[in-house]
Amino acid sequence: MTINNLLREIKRSGGLLTVDGDAIEYKLPAHSTHLIESVRRYKADLIPFLRAHGGCLGRFPHCPSCASYRLILDSADSFTCSGCGKTSIDFEQALRVN
């Protein structure tokens, strides 16, 4: 897999990559966890790319009730909205467009 294919797959799957210092944080839907090894393999190339693009790649999770981006990660797969208070928002719900 090339880095361009990896980036395309992450965006298409609804995944999210962010850079934090020299680390890459990722959130991928269950059907895309096979991409984790490629993220690790391309880490040295991804960090400067992400920094050049605002530190983030992918759709940013938001509350399905109020559309706020003020989500707090409760666990590995659940958010709470600090805007409206909705709880138990899973990653798939937080990425839905409609």
**Cβ neighbours of 7 (radius 10 Å):** 21
The CA-to-CA distance between both ends of the chain, in Å, stands at 31
- Summarised one tens digit per residue, pLDDT across range 21-36 is 999 998 887 888 899 9
pTM of the model: 0.61
Indicate the length of the chain as a whole number: 98
Amino acid symbol at 76: A
The torsion angle over the Cα atoms of residues 65, 58, 76 and 35, rounded to 10 degrees, is 140
- Summarised one tens digit per residue, pLDDT across range 37-65 is 999 999 999 999 999 888 888 777 788 88
**Cβ neighbours of 12 (radius 10 Å):** 10
